[in-house]
Amino acid sequence: MSEYLPGLAGVPATKSNISDIDGEKGILAYRGYPIEELAKNSSFEETTLLLLDGRLPTETELQEFTQQIIDNRDIKFHTRGLMKNLPAAGHPMEMLQTVVASLSMFYPGSECLTGGGSCDDLNYIHNTTVKIISRLPSIVAMWEHIRNGYDPVKPRHDLSYAENFLYMLTGKDPDPMLAKIMDVCLILHAEHTINASTFAVLVNASTLANPYSVIAAAIGALSGPLHGGANQRVVEMLDEIGSADKAEEYIDNKLKNKDVIWGMGHREYKTKDPRATILQGLVAELMQSRGGDISPAFEIAKVVEEVCEDRLAKKGVYANVDFYSGILYSEMGIPPDQFTTIFAIARSAGWLAHWREQLGDNRIFRPTQVYTGEPIRHYVDISKR
């Protein structure tokens, strides 16, 4: 194939049985299970094991995996020391990429990733997967305290994945409703076929790079505003609009100037992102639990979505997962620049599932190009130029 397609739009990059999207019908499924059913009935721990192993675990398997996650939450003091020497004003995604990349120096053992096309050491793959998934939320929560000049909160071993993250982030026992909302958010963000950050996983994994470098590369890709960073931009956009009565004029001006409307549109979906629908429901549920008063941001967001649907639905542009996730995190008291790190925590499950899958049938990525430069020409001495 020699045709150039910008952004590799529609070009299959791999074969995978991890997740699937029907963009016309607005369906997202992990291993064949619709995202709506998993969000309603599963937990992040169970969903992670489903993504990794390809099937829903037994009760014993889930208990063992959950305990492994709990046992690996602690972070070595060397890593804490590194974090304390990073600039406090740095973006949390920059911190996360730096720290994750450094972990291979503290947790060696990637000797199986040498020479061949795959790694047959399943224990190494599993143990490393557990370490990464366990430690990402600890790192993110620790940074919130460290960058503000305080010692981090130690993890607890009696809490679920979502509960422990909120506890480490705030230092307070998590509200059960907020913990449940966080758990659903993690499930919704855990996997989404071959997006930009997952493609970064495949490319880096195909070189047999160590898994910490693989995940650090994915974090770098996710940090961009056209990928995971969009949820922070949505909240900034809503703040800029200011009030619901100004939303229509704001959106029309954006469309007139052909500016980006953050949180709207997705290359895969021609209807509303199913994850956005679930998140919108969670925001409404949270508002209801607080007496029914609608927050200004949610009120503005609903008008923005209505205006965008009126103007853009015919083009297949609807709200995506980023549109409501940022609003939800804001209502939970999470700083906006931490939104994308939560995305990374959740997506680590999908990234590592793809890392495993790539190693199982590996071939290094080496795409071609369409050359548009000069034809062959001869060197001219500098005195004759």
Which among 141, 201, 227, 190 is positioned nearest to 359, based on CA atoms?
Answer: 201
pLDDT at 98: 97
Q: Is residue 378 annotated as a catalytic residue, yes or no?
A: no
Within 13 Å and on the Cβ side, how many CA atoms surround 253? Answer: 6
352-to-104, 105, 191, 361, 375 alpha-carbon distances in Å: 15, 19, 10, 15, 43
Give the separation between CA 329 and CA 185, rounded to whole angstroms: 9
CA distances from 141 to 43, 96, 101 (A): 20, 11, 17
> For residue 7, what are its two tokens?
């952004």
Beta bridge partners of 33: 30
Closest CA to 174 of 284, 310, 332, 36: 332
Opening angle at CA 351, ends 84 and 270, nearest 5: 120
Of 183, 189, 192, 266, which is the active-site residue? 266
237 vs 149: CA distance, rounded Å: 29
| Predicted pLDDT of residue 116 | 57
Domain 15-223+337-360 has CATH 3.10.310.30: no
Give the DSSP H/E element, type plus range, for residue 21.
strand 19-22
Q: Which of 189, 192, 273, 322 is the catalytic position?
A: 322
Query: Residue 315 class from Cβ within 10 Å (0-12 exposed, 13-18 middle, 19+ buried)?
Result: exposed
Query: Which CATH class for the 230-331 domain?
Result: mainly alpha
Residue 237 has pLDDT above 70, yes or no: yes
> Which residues is 319 bridged to in the sheet?
264
Given pLDDT bands bounded at 50, 70 and 90, which one contains residue 117?
very low
What would the two tokens of residue 65 be? 């995996």
Q: Which residue has the tokens 């076929």?
A: 193
Task: Check: CB of residue 35 under 8 Å from CB of residue 274.
Answer: yes
**Residue-level pLDDT at 119:** 66
Model confidence pLDDT, tens digit, residues 289-324: 988 777 888 899 999 999 999 999 999 999 899 899
Nearest of 293, 308, 166 to residue 237 by alpha carbon: 308
- Give the rounded percent of residues in the chain with a pLDDT score beyond 90: 78
CB count in 10 Å sphere of residue 151: 10
Q: What percent of the chain has pLDDT over 70?
A: 97
pLDDT band with cut points at 50, 70 and 90 for residue 361: confident
How far, in Å, are 85, 93, 270, 338 from residue 90 at the CA level?
11, 8, 36, 11
Residue 118 scores a pLDDT above 60: no
Q: Do domains 15-223+337-360 and 230-331 have the same CATH topology?
A: no
Region of 26 please: left (phi>0), alpha (psi -120 to 50) or beta.
left
**Residue spans of alpha helices (H) in the chain:** 35-41, 44-53, 59-71, 77-84, 92-106, 122-146, 161-170, 176-188, 196-206, 211-222, 230-241, 247-256, 274-289, 296-312, 321-331, 339-360
Tens digit of each residue's pLDDT (9 = 90 or more) over 40-99:
999 999 999 999 999 999 999 999 999 999 999 999 899 999 999 999 999 999 999 999
Within a 10 A sphere around the Cβ of 41, how many other Cβ atoms? 11
Residue 211 Cα distances to 94, 217, 333, 363, angstroms: 18, 10, 32, 16
User: How many Å apart are CA 273 and CA 320, to the nearest integer?
Assistant: 5
Phi, psi (degrees; rounded to nearest 5) at 264: -115, 130
Which pTM does this prediction carry?
0.93
Alpha-carbon distance of 333 to 326, in angstroms, equals 11
**Residue 370 φ/ψ, nearest 5 degrees:** -105, 110
Bridge pairing between strands 19-22 and 27-30 = antiparallel
> Rounded mean pLDDT of the chain?
92
* Residue 74 · residue 138 · CB < 8 Å: yes
pLDDT tens-digit profile of 338-350? 999 999 999 999 9
> Could you tell me the residue ranges of all domains in the chain?
15-223+337-360, 230-331
Local structure of 73: helix, strand or coil: coil
